[in-house]
Amino acid sequence: MSSKAEIIARVKQHIKEKHDMPTIEINAIQYADKIAQFKSILQTTGGEAIELQPDENLNELIRAHFTEAKNIASNLPEISLATINPDETADPHSLNQIDLAIVRGEIGVAENACVWVPQLMKERVICFIAEYLVILLNKQDIVNNMHEAYAQLNFHNAAFGVFISGPSKTADIEQALVVGAHGAKGLLVVLV
Amino acid sequence: MSTKHTKAADRFIANKAQETWHNQTLHFVRDKRDKVAMQLPEWEELRDTAHQIKMHTITHLDQYLEEFSTQAEANGVRVHWAKDAEEHNRIVYTILHSHHVKKLVKSKSMLTEECHLNPYLIERGIQVVESDLGERILQLMDQAPSHIVMPAIHLKRQEVGKLFEEKLQTEKDNSDPTYLTRAARAHLREEFLTADAAMTGANFGVAATGDIVVCTNEGNADMGTSLSPLHIVSMGMEKLVPDLKSLAVFTRLLARSATGQPVTAYTSHYRKPREGGEMHLVIVDNGRSDTLANSEHIQTLKCIRCGACMNTCPVYRRSGGYSYTYFIPGPIGINLGMLRSPEEYSDNVSACSLCYSCNNVCPVKIDLADQIYRWRQKLDSFGKADPMKKIMSVGMEFMFKRPTLFRAGLKMAPMLNYMPRPFVYNGLNDWGKGRELPRFASSSFASLWQKGKVTGAKQKHTDHE
């Protein structure tokens, strides 16, 4: 008998009393101003959210925030300041020197400042390896909580997807918070 | 009453400053947890639902394991099954060996600690690099984690500074956490870039979609798995949830309970292998199926490894993770250790004041303290009862069954107040070690009652008449 068959047989044999699946109907938190809540929580994580104003140019806005960024990776057609298209790299290791990556997020979550980023690029490593990360998010796509987020989650048949909330961080040395452990040292969410 | 835990705790509290820092820091995390939990009016509803989802999943685990593995395989993931730690390690090594892997980067996984995977691989010539900062510090020190979420919580910044001076050539006497973290970032970046394979644990497995969900703040799991062509996941089989709708409940509870954050920085869903790469999943039993049959301890299988029970535990906070003999400390560790081997890990069951705080913070409502109490009742059957306590119990039983003797003893008790210290505080009196005994009252409650001197109660008594 294979290990799988043995394990499943043991599990089956050992279950005594079966418990029903509950109906998941959480009376979950709602926010009067989801955008304000999202911004405020993102700030506590060390990130920042700004709204693109009608008279502002997206590329100029990003450039103004990251004046020193040289190697900029993005596969988004509207990002003209990109210097590298991660879809055209043969080896993800070559993306190590990226200063800034710009990706699109699909859902924002007001309760915890998560942004759903499905892997709509060949090399997902740009979300982690870049020194700084920018996520573009439609402000209409901010929901109240994780229940709402998962209810409308689209995986796009991708290999991977991630909820990102703020920059990479650690508190492993004496519980002192340090932003920028392995991943991005800063996160800017541009609400469009 | 001296257990391995009490002896090790003695060593921990000998450094008073460290003990105080440890206690206060963990309680601060507990306070943060309370604050974020209270921001959600539905917090208790979430805990109840999480408990129910887990009870349902583990009592239908055969079905969910089938569904999950079928789905993962349909996604292109290669699924392996391990009955025990030995089989798990063998599978992982075989995969690495067949891919000629020289260097493996790992993100934090308590399961691989449980299986002692690292030494197994290192003995066979594979370089293993832990990539979580806390885990990496401990690996460089050749130490084990003292907490499941904050593995290096027992260390001071100066100790890390000294270690990095030696291992990473950082500046002398610089123990600034930001400086040290940046040094580790540069060092580990190099390791990520040169690794041949990446390994992660799993916080959740989603049966309906086959997703492996990993939560980190550092992004180390994602760095490793996004660069390397080979990803191996090690997952305890109790980690399953039925679907994404269920997962939503747990993503709201995990980080709030663990560190008092609304969520971790990254909640990653691994569904398929990287383009041109391979993804392997090892589903591990290693005693979990036995726990399913144990109705008194089945609830340990609900655990999502958040560590909230440790942060709140007054004994853990003041004795440190290394005082426990099982690799997982605190209330959940006491129980998991006893399930592993009561003969080997019974020293830990005394590390509990039965204050029940752990039950009250556990996000999936595991009956942690009740279980510890149950283990204590069974110590004698494992041959692990304390001989002194056994003598005391026999003596007390004898006395309590004989009211005349009991009353006579009670009358004489106040004499203890006037005894010379060595008669009362000696090796035979464990209750007098490290604390002062209360003074016996000159007159017992029973005698006051009989004389009508217990006024409140007497009043009630009269009313009734």
Interface A:B, Cβ pairs < 8 A: 251
Nearest residue on chain B to A121, alpha-carbon basis: B275
Residue B445 is given by DSSP the state H
B237 and chain A in contact, CB less than 8 A:
yes
- Give the Cα separation of B137 and B130 in Å (integer): 9
- Give the Cα separation of B73 and B79 in Å (integer): 7
Closest Cβ opposite residue B246 in set A11, A24, A122: A24
Say yes or no to pLDDT of A159 above 60: yes
ipTM above 0.95, yes or no: yes
Element (H, E) at B236: strand B230-236
B208 and chain A in contact, CB less than 8 A:
no
Q: With an 8 Å Cβ cutoff, are A181 and B29 in contact? A: no
Mean pLDDT of B374-388: 87
Query: How far B315 CA sits from the closest chain A CA (Å)?
Result: 20
Per-residue pLDDT, B1: 57
Mean pLDDT of A152-159: 98
**pLDDT band, very low/low/confident/very high, at B420 (cuts 50, 70, 90):** confident
Does B437 or B84 have the greater pLDDT score?
Answer: B84
Where helices occur in B260-381 by DSSP H, the ranges are 288-292, 308-312, 314-319, 330-340, 342-345, 357-361, 368-378
Q: Residue A96 CA to chain centroid, in angstroms?
A: 19
Mean pLDDT of A147-157: 98
**pLDDT band, very low/low/confident/very high, at B459 (cuts 50, 70, 90):** low
Residue B381 is given by DSSP the state G
**pLDDT band, very low/low/confident/very high, at B257 (cuts 50, 70, 90):** very high
Question: What does the pLDDT look like over B108-121, one tens digit per residue?
Answer: 999 999 999 999 99
Residue with tokens 């290791």: A93
Nearest residue on chain A to B186, alpha-carbon basis: A182
Query: How far B43 CA sits from the closest chain A CA (Å)?
Result: 9
DSSP-assigned letters across all residues of chain A? --HHHHHHHHHHHH--S--PPPP--------S-HHHHHHHHHHHTT-EEEEPPTT--HHHHHHHH-TT--SEE---TT-TT-SB-GGG-S-GGGGGG-SEEEEE--EEETTTTEEEEE--SS-TTHHHHSSEEEEEE-GGGEESSHHHHHHT---TT-SEEEEE-SS-EE-TTTT--EE-SSS-SEEEEEE-
Residues of A in contact with B278 (CB under 8 A): none
Query: How far A187 CA sits from the closest chain B CA (Å)?
Result: 11
> Which residues have a Cβ under 8 Å from the Cβ of B369 and sit 6 or more positions away?
B331, B352, B354, B355, B356, B358, B359
A88 and chain B in contact, CB less than 8 A:
no
- Residue boundaries of the structural domains of chain B: 1-39+307-385, 40-155+196-290, 396-464
Query: How far B151 CA sits from the closest chain A CA (Å)?
Result: 8
Per-residue pLDDT, B16: 94
Mean pLDDT of B307-316: 98
Question: What does the pLDDT look like over B214-243, one tens digit per residue?
Answer: 999 999 999 999 999 999 999 999 999 999
3 state DSSP class of B401: coil
A181 and chain B in contact, CB less than 8 A:
yes
Residue B77 is given by DSSP the state P
Residues of B in contact with A159 (CB under 8 A): 270-275
Task: Assign domain B40-155+196-290 to a CATH class.
Answer: alpha beta
- Give the Cα separation of B238 and B291 in Å (integer): 10
Q: With an 8 Å Cβ cutoff, are B83 and A150 in contact? A: no
Per-residue pLDDT, B445: 87
Q: With an 8 Å Cβ cutoff, are B289 and A14 in contact? A: yes
Mean pLDDT of B358-382: 96
CATH of domain A28-191: 3.40.50.10420
Per-residue pLDDT, B226: 97
Residues of B in contact with A123 (CB under 8 A): 226
Q: With an 8 Å Cβ cutoff, are B262 and A3 in contact? A: no
Say yes or no to pLDDT of B123 above 60: yes
Reading the block at residue B80, the tokens are 């392996």
Q: In angstroms, how far apart are the furthest CA atoms of chain A?
A: 68
**What's the whole-model pTM score?**
0.92
Candidates B20, B206, B223, B246: best to mutate against A (most CBs of A within 10 A) is B223
Which is it for strands B204-206 and B212-216: parallel, antiparallel or unpaired? antiparallel
Contact A189, A48 (CB under 8 A): yes
Per-residue pLDDT, B455: 76
Reading the block at residue A78, the tokens are 């509207």
